[in-house]
Amino acid sequence: MNIIYDRQTDTLTIVFTEATVAESDEAAPGVILDFDAAGNLVALELLDASRRVTYPQQVTLQVTPTPTTP
């Protein structure tokens, strides 16, 4: 997974997989979803990111721990 913020275009892109994009859909104004040929989500793109995200150039990753069994 890659998260890219482009300051010149003010676009924040989250790439989930390197699959080829077959179709894009604007889910909401300024929110673009990219899908592969099988309909799987490839990437999410936010236009005008600095107006939608507090700090688009700063990323925090949180991973939920896997529960352990006794």
Pairing of strands 11-15, 23-28: unpaired
Q: What is the pLDDT of residue 47?
A: 96
Q: What is the pLDDT of residue 54?
A: 87
Reported as a single tens digit per residue, the pLDDT across 17-64 is 999 999 999 999 999 999 999 999 999 999 999 999 888 888 888 889
Domain boundaries, the chain: 2-52
Q: What is the pLDDT of residue 69?
A: 72
Between 67 and 47, the higher pLDDT residue = 47
57, two tokens: 């150039």
